[in-house]
Amino acid sequence: MARSLFQALTRLQGAWKPLSFINTNFTRIPLNQLVEEETLPDYVATTVWLARDLKGRQHVALKLFIHSRSMGSQLDDEINMYKRMEGASKRHPGRDAVRTLLDTFDLDGPAGEHRCLVHTPLWDSVLTFLYRNPVRRLPEPVLAGILQRVFLALDFLHTECKIVHADIKADNIMFGIEDDSVFSHFEQEELRDPCPRKEVDGRTIYTSRQLRMPKRWGAPVLCDFGSAMPGDRENWDKIQPDIYRAPEVILEAPWTYSADMWNVGCMIWDIFEGGHLFTGKDPELKTYKSRAHLAEMVALLGPPPATLLARGKLSDKFFSQDGKSHPSIHDAFNVLYAAYHGELCTDISLPDRTTLEERETTLAGQDKASFLRLVRKLLAWEPAERGTPNELMDDEWILKHTRE
């Protein structure tokens, strides 16, 4: 409220004057040296720039799409998600927990047209913040605070906007900034010591410059709606990062908002336990495969319920219908599944049976028990049995660590 009032008052002072970045004393990068996104051969997404809104007297982040034409309707789909958010309730507290759109425009360039989205600038992502910690895991109060904000954001998206985010991961959750001097410092550093760059085929490629540590952080914000989908329709599309993909999505059963909750449950493991809960790495093909992912789920959570399998278009590809398991499955698991009609029937051996208690190695006693109760509310085979964002905002483990 106070920040918004301050910004409104500063706009009455007249427009900012443009800055001239004319310092030519920068490092020239050799043409054969790959820079940042050039090292990613399939990278066709976006770059983000800090900019100055001269009339509004504020800094903004410009998300510029590199190859707009090749993305087809996906660009308009993302804009439509932001329109849904804009038209939703202004009173829901979760509105401040998502990154909304300030403006959008198209920019002509030598290689064609580029879509540009204008956002409020933010600081580090949770992933970048995680790597600032030598142990590569978040402290419990930080994790609890992030989860509370993510659930607040998802409650707004699911109930008010009818949106499934579909891409919840640590680099799509960013910390806000309550210290505008960070941006002024960024400008002055670029004026004093311009970032290294090179010119290729008439295009200038710059290295990134990091924002300094802010004196005051803002709350975490859920970002990036490029993969978001309408939730008020029947959905069958393939969504989510491979290792975070919900079982109903893999099996091509109809999915809805609860797919986001499974996604959060898997992400927790990465940022708190220091490793993936599921990898989906096929032992034979040495790459991600759905059959390997499902095998890991079965080893950790037991067999899927028949109700889920009955809805999946691909259930027969992975699970038997008559209770007979494939000969390649470990004999020990044949006994385990004798009472079920959901044996894996793919040509792959099951991983060794394990439990969440065995996998969780950082907590003990009641704290461990309440943490795993939270995780189990997210990682239920049956989507309808997962907790909702509104329920989990007040989960006992989260409340304990946000009140300490």
The token pair at 196 is 């290294």
Query: Could you give the 3-state DSSP secondary structure of residue 143?
Result: helix
Give me the DSSP letters along 152-207.
HHHHIIIIII-EE-----GGGEEEEE--THHHHHHHHHHHHSPPPEEEETTEEEE-
8 Å CB contact between 137 and 273: yes
β partners of residue 63: 48, 117
Active site residue 167: yes
8 Å CB contact between 170 and 271: yes
CA triplet 48, 38, 135: central angle to 5 degrees?
A: 75
The token pair at 195 is 């970032």
H/E run at residue 10 = helix 2-11
**In whole angstroms, how far apart are CA 357 and each of 143, 274, 361, 364?**
19, 15, 8, 10
Amino acid identity of residue 172, one-letter, is N
| Backbone angle region of 162, left / alpha / beta, with phi > 0 → left and psi within -120 to 50 → alpha | left
Q: What is the CA radius of gyration of the chain?
A: 24
8 Å CB contact between 78 and 228: yes
The token pair at 111 is 């290689």
User: How far apart (Å, rounded) are the C-alpha atoms in residues 345 and 69?
Assistant: 42
User: How far apart (Å, rounded) are the C-alpha atoms in residues 325 and 337?
Assistant: 8
| Residue in 206, 210, 215, 207 with CA at minimum distance from that of residue 189 | 210
Q: Tokens 């913040």 label which residue? A: 129
Report residue 389: phi and psi, to 5°. Answer: -55, -40
Given the residues 124, 155, 167, 260, select the one marked as catalytic: 167
The token pair at 50 is 């800090």
Residues that are catalytic: 167
